[in-house]
Every structure is written in structure tokens, then in C-alpha cells.
Structure 1
Amino acid sequence: MGLEVFLVENKLIITIVMYQTEFSQTPSYDYLKRIMTGKKSAYLLVYDNSKKAQEDELFCRENVRYIHDETNPGLAEAYNAGSQYLQELQGDLLLLLDQDTLIDEAYLETLLGLELVEEIGAYVPIISSHGRQISPVFSDRYVGGKSELPESGVYSQRIMSINSGTAIPQKTIQSIGQFSLDFPLDFLDHWLFWRIHQLGKKVYVLDHHLAHDLSVLDYRTIDSKRYDSIIQGETLFYQKYDQDKFYTHRRHLLLRTLKQFLRVKNRKIWRRTFLEYRSLLMKGK
């Protein structure tokens, strides 16, 4: 009689953040539905920042939790709710997800089967938007349009990845404490990976490619209100956290102003950039 081998899956808690979109219309809905009905070690938290609550057959499942918050506090509050859910379930990994990312079966199966290593602070996929790799990027230097892109592998160098698709082990979550409410939406990802590096943790770039519709990729189409949120988050991050890059950031704002003046029809965009540059110049820091 041979010995039977039982493979233990990681307990994976997926936190997806919604805004003014039906959960059933998200790119990853069909697979999330399959995994929630077929995997005992997978759990889902749907944090809905929409004005009106919604219903879905999945919300009735034991391994799915739905939270509606019409105040729309952004991402940090939702991820903190996901962290609490992780601790409550004594989970192994917290997967951050938003409504614009298309996850696939292979990626989630990889996360469920990972052998977690204490020195790894985050596991991230390679993400593209409209045919261009946007994440992860090396962030030891100022992150700009020509940032270097890592391939799959384990890195001790500073790396920044977008939130969506990032899987964080429970021990990293415990060390971080909570996601910073300084960044309710924009630049939370920069803060998160800055914090992981501060902890002396490495980042594992997995050999998985996911698609994400990044709405803020093009200054020519971005909404002025959203751009204001981005630029506030940028300045706060370089003033309060990654301070070594503050003067590079300030100089970059002037260069960005000139490029936007020439290329972007919405005049509010370049004026907002120049206003930020002038404000930082007058303050000295």
C-alpha cells in the first residue's frame, strides 16, 4: 500500500475594490466565481465604494464577504478591511485586486500552491496595459516614463508594483500594521513597496502576465480631479517617505509641465503641474 501525498494549499484571501461597476461585469468575475465555488482555501472580500449597494449570488456564500461603503474612502480602507479578514481567517496570503485587472486561473493556482518564504515581502505578476508593461518597475531611482522593468525572479533591489495583482504574506501584513490612510487612492502602491523595502524584505516577480486597464496612463485623457489626487499623492510620498528623491520629483514636475503644455489639450493639467512645482519651489521643501 503506497503512501498518499496531500498537498496543502495556501489560504488565499482576495480583496477586490469596486466603484460604480457591477461585480458581475468585472473582467475576472467568471474565474472568481469558479474558484469561490471550487476551492475551500480561497476567500473573497468585495469592498464596494459605489453609491448604491449591489447584489450577487456569490455574496451569499460562506467564503465571500461583501462590504458596501457609499462614502467611497478609496483603496486603503478597503485593503485594511481585507487585512482584518486575513487575520480573522488566519490566512496565508492577501491578494489585492481591483475591478480593472483580468486575473487568470494559472495565476491564482500559483498563489495557492506557493511555498512561502519569510524573506519575501510580496509576490507580484508582470502587468501590461494596452500592450505596454506598466508593472513592476525598479524604484531605486525616481520612477518615470523610462523606468527599468524587471523580469521574473527574486529581487532585493527596490521594486514598485501596482497594487492590483500583488499578493502579500500574512507576516508582511503584520509588520506593516495597516495600509497608510495618507494615501487613500493614489501612490498607495509606492508607499506599500517602499515600506516592504524598509522591512528588508525581497520581492518575487512571478512568471505570470496579467492585463490591466490603467485609466491614468495617458495625461491626454485623464480627468482633472483624478490628476489632482495623483499629484497630491506624489508630493506627499516624496516629502514624507521617500525623501531622497524629493528634489528629483520637484525638477521632474517642471519637465512634465513643459511636455503637458505641448501635448495635452486640457490646460488644467499642465497648469496644475506647474502650480505644484511653484508651490514646492517657494516652500523650499
Structure 2
Amino acid sequence: MKILIVMVRYQTPLSRSLTLRGLHDALASSPVLANMYTIMIWDNSQEAIPADQLPPSLLYRHSEKNLGVSGAYNSSAHYAHEHGYPWMMLLDQDTCIPMDFLQKMAQHCEALLNRLEIAAVAPVVFVRKFLVSPRQQLFNRHRAYPFGEIGIAPGEAFAINSGCVLRVTALQQVGGYSTDFWLDYSDLYLFHQFFLYGLKVWRAADATLEHDMSIMDYDRLMSPSRYRNFSYAESAFNDLYKGRMENAVQTLRVFVRALKQRKKYKNPEFSRIAWEQWMYRMRVPRKERIRRWIEAGKLRMISQSNPEDQREKISS
């Protein structure tokens, strides 16, 4: 059994990637693990890395079109399927990899290889001691599972992309990642599809990661442009997959968020974006918001394939 590790790179030198350093140290310490894992760098940066600057042990793919993490993972899954990898591990470029992490995840994947109902193996991920993944989706909120319990996650479970191992055939079964949720909410979309298809998430509670998330650190990591993208992805996910009552609660939540963020964060732009989102949800009907979201996704795909076509479409 082999596992394809996919790390999405964007504008960061490989020498500065915390993830690559951790992977190198872990695999160098164990020839057995080195034979089980293959590392692929999927590069969404504007410029490709010259071949003579790449370690020979890495697979490297540079995308001419930046289709976000969704495009990177879908393309990597296609490679994994063609080359016989049953599992695919997803990693950001700035995740801290403990020495025993790969060993524990490989053990879970080996044991679960023939349990086709298991679509994902999710480690425990912390952001500054706060457990962010996996969690159980509830009515307009989510909660952490009891710490330390290994096994199938009850209810509708979701996990963040980084650190998660996906069964390649399960990813194909649900149609892959969504091109509409190309960055933010890409993982919530995928795990919601797993739930709809009756597929399960395995909690690898003995494997842990420390991770940074921009949504957890507005003053240091979050930018206003990224927050605006997150806000509209969050709104679209609720519009598409939540009921009327949950959407009403979400609209109220955004209003409260706008008030709190004005006092909490140094940059007042975050509060302005939340206020903009609340006004958008109040003034624009749900069906129209969904139509605009889908249309924006189509325009983004056009802009990546042919910028001239997009300008003609917008001007017309």
C-alpha cells in the first residue's frame, strides 16, 4: 500500500516550508515509511520552480491555471487513481509534522484499506490548543468530538484539508472537490458530500497536528481580501446546503459578528466586510444569492482559461 502526499504550494520557497522539513525528517528516519509515501508538490504559483532546484525524490506539478486547492486536489486525485494510490494525504505548506504522524496515519490506512465505507481518515488538528478538526456538524454550529476516541465519527463529521487522508475512489464517487468552493469551505463541501453519500470519516485520534489558520488569527494572518472570500463562501454554503431556519440564524450571526469585530480587531475592515455581508443577506433573496455565486464561479473558470473571453463576457 502506498499513500500520495499532496502539498499545495503558493508563492513560498520550498526551503521555507515547515511541512517539507517535517516530511523530510520523518521519512529520512524510516526507510519503511519512505517506501510507503510519495510526495507531490502541486504548485499554484505564477512561476514554476526550475527543475535543477527540485529534490529528485519529489513529484512536481506546476499548474498553468490557479484553480485553488480544489483544482489542485482534483488533479492530484486523478494522478493517484492512474498510478494506483488508494489513499491521498493533503497537507498545507505550513503544517508542523510530528515525527510519529506518518507512521500512525499509515497504520490506520493499512487497517482500513478494504473498508470501502471509510472515505477519510482524519487526525486531530489543533490551532493554539483549540481543537479545530475533526468536528461534528450540528444545527448551524459544530462541536469537537470527545478527545482520544478512535473510530468512525458519529453524525455528520467534517475535517480540515490539511493532514487528512482521503480514499481516492471515495473522492471520485462524490464528484471530487467543487470548483465553486475553490479555496474557503472546500473541505466542508467535500465532507458534506461524503455525508450525503453515506460515507464515513475515521477519527485517527492518536495522530495529532499543530496548524495555523488565518480564520483563527485576524490580526496576524488574515487579510481583508481573504476574509471577503471566506464570507461569501460561508454564505453560499449556508444558502446551498442549510435550511430556512439555519439561514435565518446565520444572518443574525453575521450581524453580531460585525459588532464584535469592530471592537476585537485592530483593522476595522473586517467589521466592514461582515456588515457588507449582513446587508447582502438582508437585501438579496436566497435564490438570487445562489445564482450570483454560481455565476461568479463560472466567470472565475473562464478567467483562468482565457482572460480575453472573460472581458468580452463581462462587457456584454
Q: Classify the TM-score, shorter chain.
A: 0.7 to 0.9
Q: Give the CA deviation at 1:210.
A: 0.6
| 1:235 maps onto 2:235 in alignment | yes
Structure 2 residue identity aligned to 1:247: A
Give per-residue Cα distances to partners, 1:56-112, cap 9 Å, x unaligned: 765433xx3212236433100110121011101111111111112122342212232
1:210 is matched with which residue?
A: 209
Pair 1:148–1:30, CA change in 2 (3 A): closer
Give per-residue Cα distances to partners, 1:111-156, cap 9 Å, x unaligned: 3233112222211111112232222222123236xx3344333213
Q: How does 1:156-195 map to 2 (within 5 A)?
A: 156-195=154-193
Number of aligned positions between the proteins: 272
| 1:65 maps onto 2:59 in alignment | yes
Percent identity of paired positions between Structure 1 and Structure 2: 28
Q: Give the CA deviation at 1:247.
A: 2.2
37-46 or 182-191: which moved more?
Answer: 37-46
Q: Give the CA deviation at 1:234.
A: 0.4
Q: Structure 1 or 2: larger helix share?
A: 2
2:224 is matched with which residue?
A: 224
203-212 or 213-222: which moved more?
Answer: 213-222
Instruction: Verify the 8 A CA contact 1:136 1:150 in the aligned structure 2.
Output: no
| 1:115 maps onto 2:116 in alignment | no
Instruction: Verify the 8 A CA contact 1:140 1:159 in the aligned structure 2.
Output: no
- The gaps in structure 2 that reach 5 residues or longer are 287-316
Instruction: Verify the 8 A CA contact 1:14 1:94 in the aligned structure 2.
Output: yes
Instruction: Verify the 8 A CA contact 1:121 1:168 in the aligned structure 2.
Output: yes
Which SS does the other structure have where 1:101 is aligned?
A: coil
Q: Give the CA deviation at 1:50.
A: 2.1
Pair 1:260–1:149, CA change in 2 (3 A): farther
Q: TM-score, normalised by structure 2?
A: 0.79
| 1:19 maps onto 2:10 in alignment | yes
Pair 1:171–1:51, CA change in 2 (3 A): closer
Give per-residue Cα distances to partners, 1:150-199, cap 9 Å, x unaligned: 43332131122111011011231221222110111101111011111111
Structure 1 CA distance, aligned partners of 2:22 and 2:219?
A: 33
Which SS does the other structure have where 1:219 is aligned?
A: coil
- Which residue of 24, 36, 42 maps to 1:41? 36
Structure 2 residue identity aligned to 1:26: S
Structure 2 residue identity aligned to 1:256: R
211-220 or 241-250: which moved more?
Answer: 241-250
Instruction: Verify the 8 A CA contact 1:28 1:104 in the aligned structure 2.
Output: no
Instruction: Verify the 8 A CA contact 1:121 1:201 in the aligned structure 2.
Output: yes
Instruction: Verify the 8 A CA contact 2:17 2:94 in the aligned structure 1.
Output: yes
Q: Give the CA deviation at 1:243.
A: 4.1
2:93 is matched with which residue?
A: 99
97-106 or 250-259: which moved more?
Answer: 97-106
148-157 or 198-207: which moved more?
Answer: 148-157
Q: How does 1:116-135 map to 2 (within 5 A)?
A: 116=112, 117-135=115-133
Structure 2 residue identity aligned to 1:32: L
- Which residue of 40, 46, 50 maps to 2:45? 50
Which SS does the other structure have where 2:181 is aligned?
A: coil
- The gaps in structure 1 that reach 5 residues or longer are 1-9
Q: TM-score, normalised by structure 1?
A: 0.87
Structure 2 CA distance, aligned partners of 1:242 and 1:24?
A: 42
Q: Give the CA deviation at 1:41.
A: 3.1
Instruction: Verify the 8 A CA contact 1:12 1:111 in the aligned structure 2.
Output: no
